[in-house]
Chain A
Amino acid sequence: MNNISYKRAQSVETAIEHIGSKKESSRFIGGGTNLLDLMKYRVENPEHLIDINHLDLSKIENSDSGGLLLGATKTNADTAYHELVEEQYPLLSEAMLSAASAQLRNMATNGGNLLQRTRCFYFYNTSTPCNKREPGSGCSALKGFNRIHAILGASEHCIATHPSDMAVALAALDATVHISGAEGDRTIAATDFHKLPGDTPHIETNLEPGEIITGIELPEKGFAKNYHYLKVRDRPSYAFALVSVAAAIELENNTIKDIRVALGGVAHKPWRKPSVEKEFIGKEANTENFEQLADKLTDGAKGYGNNDFKIPLVRKSIVRALTEAMNK
């Protein structure tokens, strides 16, 4: 771990001000559950830390558009157990509570959750090549231990996955990420927040350097009736998803009125295809249709050896999650 300067910001404006011209060498720190690990491993080597835990961003309140605004520094635990989240967005609550461990959820913040970095073994180990950590050095996972790696949207430069559960549910729910920066405020759709690796796997999100996440907005529609978050993993707690499915359906009798399926553990970002979902609106909610949806959503899936199993697994998991959502 390197020597660092530490500043505690009291407002969004001062936080942005603090980061000022030192964008590349600074990091905002919330719960620190991922950043501090990465610093100890010398994967992240910031010179300046700006503590944002004291910004006024820890509320959960109704938004102007009839939805719910989740403060960026609210902890994952307090968000997942919040009455309004549990009632109106149980899919999000379920996904968040499947993540990490109770201790981590008590520390981790909502903004930080989106910015957590991949668990690729080679990213964490500074003695091995990794394009994400050291652009141009190569991808060790391509021919290494890649059991936990991507089957969708990967590139020859990087086959890492995004590890968040929360982000998968947010993608399914069409959430919006609120951002502030020196240039002003803006929003990005949760589905557009993370990027596929392409040839710049070190750029993981559409957040510009120096910008700060202030909140996450959920739209009014919460799919609180028929939903399921299925997390397939190596142990029932404190393990990242090999494959996860955030499934939500709106039903009219047995007809699909609306449907959302987002996948975790399979790509560099939560994997969702609204165009595929649309095709199934108006169709009957049954196994055959779910199987078709699964095939279309995972079309083009490619394994790299150790992770070949994810292709049949994710398809089965999609069908299972939708079936569980139906039977909720």
Chain B
Amino acid sequence: MIADTKYIGKPTRRVDGIKKVTGNATYSAEFNPEHLVHGYIINSTISRGKIVAINDKEALKVPGVRQVFTHKNIPEEVKIDSDYTDPLAPPGNPFRPFYNEDILYNGQPVALIVADSFETAAYAAGLVKIDYEKEEGCEVDLKANLQNATREDVPDPPEPRGDAAKAYESSKHQVDVEYYLPRHYQNPMETFATVAIWNAEEQGFTIYDKIQGVGSSQQYISGIFNLEKEKVRVLSPFVGGGFGSGLRPQYQLFCAAMASKVLNLPVKVVMTRTQMFSFGHRPACLQRLKLSSDETGKLKSINHEAFGETSRFEMFNETVVDWSGMMYQCDNVKLDYQLVPLDVYTPMDMRAPGGATGMYALECAIDELAIEAGVDPLEFRLINYADIDQNEGKPYSSKELRAAFLKASESFGWEKRIAKPQSMQDGNNLVGYGMATGVWEALQQESSAKAILTSEGKLTVSSGTADIGTGTYTIMSQIAAEIVGIPLEDVEFQLGDSSLPKAPIEGGSWTASSVGSAVKLVCHALQKKIFGYAQQSFPEELKGAMFEEAEFSNRHLSVKSTRLSYSEILAVSGQNSVETSVNSQPADDRSKYSCYSHSCVMVEVHVDKDTKMITVPRVVSAIAGGKILNPKTAESQILGGITWGISMALEEEGMMDSRNGRIMNANLAEYHVAVQADIQDLEVIFVPEHDEIVNPLGAKGLGEIGIVGVASAICNAIYNATGKRVRELPITLDKLV
């Protein structure tokens, strides 16, 4: 462990901040190679059926139009022996753009117009006439199609324990409720974009892609075009938000690559905002919870069953119900999770996938049971607190949730809450307090990194990870500067390039933990190498010195009374630079423990007595997330999570018309997310949490935990304010009229 740190744990500005605010951070759509042409995608307007005719004559007449690609004219090579899977493809058959005349969902890409300018392509797209043969029936409504639920290709939730049904029947207090979460769309600010450059001479691609992991695009394209991975170089130096939508390659990547190879020209394809609603999304989910407790509020049974939507071609699953088995001490638990295939695109991960969904329902239902039992909701959670993972029977590597409860309630003033609804008022507003617990996995994946220190004192560390706006560039530079002992400004961290050492896709809140551990390890290896050169070059001075005694700071190696600068060590050793590479794996010990981050969210809501307009003047979120590497970027992560939680609770809903499977609010004017005026006083507290098991850094990752529980806390607060329990998101004012 690093006792006294210079960079790790210190609030540090983003090292790429200046680039971003001055427009010098280059995103995928901003690469403009010579001879670039532009693609524009046409999407289907029916949800099920066939394309019977495509008339592109008028479009092809437009000056500047190069080609109109459809299922009729794309090369056979991408249809035969092609593998469209990506590293995160769920069971099933991945979607293949322009594969044949079949329409699988409304909004499916059906044609690509390539022209000399985006405007020309977009104009010509309007001239393409597509006739469909519409198949009757359109199944896009989850609740209306539960009869088609299946457990096939769905991972089993943890085994039942005890007898939940029996315990429920004999319990004093019972809650039997159904919660519904609609479809959500990730909508990162940067829309999906690819610039693909086919090199006919080398028979390979260079691709700039918006993606959360260059390895994902690389596997996808090499599989489709039957190319060695080395022939597909993918770059993604800056990503304008992902939130899960960039975990899998999207169809613009296929379009750009295919057209680039056929036309032998660089091709750029950028999605419109409307098209951002035409692929994966957080799946709608219906959840039924039956909970019971004794008269003191001790949980007697938990029965949690969930129905998630998926497409007809892939079985997308997420962890929705497992949390209910883990979070609370309870002897009788039954969990079930099923999927309902619909005429939609395959859902995909969205910030805290499964966790945000499952914990929303669980933490609302727990609130209902606490109220039923007449126990304060915070007290209820303490009564049923689990010190070991109830599903696995393992201890937690660390779990400072009690401290989070305490810190949040102190700062929020939870003791001022009056349990009886409609008791607290402020002018025309009914005031409500609500709380919830949050949880997310603290994962670590295998990851590689490379480090080079030059004799001029510049350190370059690289790993093929991504920075999706989370601060990867910054925290990795901090770790490297700290361990190698050089100023932060002399560190360059490189990422977003498939030619760099392999790293996992950025998701699951595991980047800080996985890549951070690799960076720590490679910098330790660099220390050792420097020490080795020093021993060779300064045998007298370092006689009997041990590596363990050495200190590396201020560009110097110090051991006992000897202090040598890195530059003199390299100079005397005759080296221009020193270089190391590592591959870091999670430690074996980790498997004996359950590793999770936790949170306590407390919110105050105001509900206007007449108009029922809901506002959230205050949120306190106390996080137990292990070692905080950079409190500044860490706080930003949680603030973003809370903000999104407010959207999820009050505003977000993908409105798919069940008559035609079309998203009717596919734009940011009508698909509401929180705006500046929604956000008032947000407070983030990081609870000290020491963890030597989770990974060498002791950090747990903060990408997801911030959103988990926020919607439940708001729902619970609305109940406290109004006495009305709304069990369907978003809680819009009409549900309170």
A3 touches B123 (CB 8 A): yes
CB distance from A320 to the nearest CB of B (A): 4
Q: Which B residue's beta carbon lies closest to that of A104?
A: B669
Q: Which B residue's beta carbon lies closest to that of A121?
A: B664
Which listed segment binds A: B348-356, B470-478, B649-657?
B649-657
- A317: chain B residues within 8 A (beta carbon): 610-611
Contact of A145 among B123, B650, B664, B732 (CB under 8 A): B664
Judge whether B410 is part of the interface by a CB distance below 8 angstroms.
no
- A1: chain B residues within 8 A (beta carbon): 119, 122-123, 126
B732 touches A234 (CB 8 A): yes
Contacts A42-B126, A309-B737; A145 near B655 (Cβ below 8 A): yes
- B664: chain A residues within 8 A (beta carbon): 121-122, 125, 128, 144-145
Query: With the chains together, A306 CA to B734 CA distance in Å?
Result: 9
Which listed segment binds A: B497-505, B568-576, B577-585, B675-683?
B675-683
Judge whether A6 is part of the interface by a CB distance below 8 angstroms.
no
Number of residues from B at the complex interface, CB < 8 A? 33
Query: With the chains together, A181 CA to B613 CA distance in Å?
Result: 44
CB distance from B343 to the nearest CB of A (A): 15
Query: With the chains together, A140 CA to B662 CA distance in Å?
Result: 12
Judge whether A147 is part of the interface by a CB distance below 8 angstroms.
yes
Judge whether B326 is part of the interface by a CB distance below 8 angstroms.
no
B613 touches A121 (CB 8 A): no
Contacts A1-B123, A230-B611, A312-B737; A237 near B659 (Cβ below 8 A): no
Chain B interface SS verdict (over half) = loop
- B74: chain A residues within 8 A (beta carbon): none
Query: With the chains together, A181 CA to B583 CA distance in Å?
Result: 76
Contact of B675 among A42, A128, A238, A316 (CB under 8 A): A238
B657 touches A234 (CB 8 A): no
CB within 8 Å of B: which A174-209 residues: none
Over the window 100-139 of chain A, the binary record of Cβ atoms lying under 8 Å from chain B Cβ atoms (1 yes, 0 no) is 0100000000000000000101101101100000000000
CB within 8 Å of B: which A281-326 residues: 306, 309-310, 312-313, 316-317, 319-320
Judge whether A256 is part of the interface by a CB distance below 8 angstroms.
no
Judge whether B660 is part of the interface by a CB distance below 8 angstroms.
yes
Judge whether A9 is part of the interface by a CB distance below 8 angstroms.
no
CB within 8 Å of B: which A80-97 residues: none
B611 touches A313 (CB 8 A): yes
- A143: chain B residues within 8 A (beta carbon): 659
Query: With the chains together, A2 CA to B123 CA distance in Å?
Result: 5
CB distance from B224 to the nearest CB of A (A): 29
Query: With the chains together, A243 CA to B126 CA distance in Å?
Result: 36
Judge whether B555 is part of the interface by a CB distance below 8 angstroms.
no
Judge whether A57 is part of the interface by a CB distance below 8 angstroms.
no
CB within 8 Å of A: which B581-612 residues: 610-612
Query: With the chains together, A317 CA to B126 CA distance in Å?
Result: 44
Q: Which B residue's beta carbon lies closest to that of A237?
A: B677
A237 touches B672 (CB 8 A): no
- B612: chain A residues within 8 A (beta carbon): 313
Contacts A235-B672, A242-B733; A319 near B651 (Cβ below 8 A): no
CB distance from A140 to the nearest CB of B (A): 8
A233 touches B676 (CB 8 A): no
B655 touches A236 (CB 8 A): no
Contacts A3-B123, A144-B657, A145-B664; A234 near B737 (Cβ below 8 A): no
CB distance from B567 to the nearest CB of A (A): 52
Judge whether A251 is part of the interface by a CB distance below 8 angstroms.
no
- B122: chain A residues within 8 A (beta carbon): 1
Contact of A235 among B428, B610, B675 (CB under 8 A): B675
Query: With the chains together, A309 CA to B667 CA distance in Å?
Result: 25
Contacts A235-B651, A236-B678, A237-B677; A316 near B659 (Cβ below 8 A): no
Most B CB within 10 A of own CB, among A145, A147, A306, A319: A145
Judge whether B227 is part of the interface by a CB distance below 8 angstroms.
no
Over the window 137-156 of chain A, the binary record of Cβ atoms lying under 8 Å from chain B Cβ atoms (1 yes, 0 no) is 00010011101000000000
- A144: chain B residues within 8 A (beta carbon): 657, 659, 664
Judge whether B615 is part of the interface by a CB distance below 8 angstroms.
yes
CB distance from A79 to the nearest CB of B (A): 21
CB distance from A228 to the nearest CB of B (A): 12
Most A CB within 10 A of own CB, among B610, B650, B651: B610
CB distance from A5 to the nearest CB of B (A): 14
Query: With the chains together, A121 CA to B662 CA distance in Å?
Result: 11
CB within 8 Å of B: which A229-252 residues: 230, 232-239, 242-243
Contact of A313 among B657, B675, B737 (CB under 8 A): B737
Query: With the chains together, A287 CA to B428 CA distance in Å?
Result: 15
Judge whether B445 is part of the interface by a CB distance below 8 angstroms.
no
Q: Which B residue's beta carbon lies closest to that of A230?
A: B611
Query: With the chains together, A114 CA to B665 CA distance in Å?
Result: 23
Query: With the chains together, A232 CA to B736 CA distance in Å?
Result: 13
Over the window 1-39 of chain A, the binary record of Cβ atoms lying under 8 Å from chain B Cβ atoms (1 yes, 0 no) is 111000000000000000000000000000000000000
23 contacts between A and B (CB under 8 A): A2-B123, A119-B670, A122-B664, A128-B657, A128-B660, A140-B659, A145-B665, A232-B611, A232-B613, A232-B733, A234-B650, A234-B672, A235-B650, A235-B651, A235-B678, A236-B677, A237-B676, A242-B733, A242-B734, A243-B611, A306-B734, A313-B611, A317-B610
Given A2-B123, A128-B660, 6 other A-B contacts at CB below 8 A?
Answer: A101-B675, A121-B655, A122-B664, A234-B672, A312-B737, A319-B610
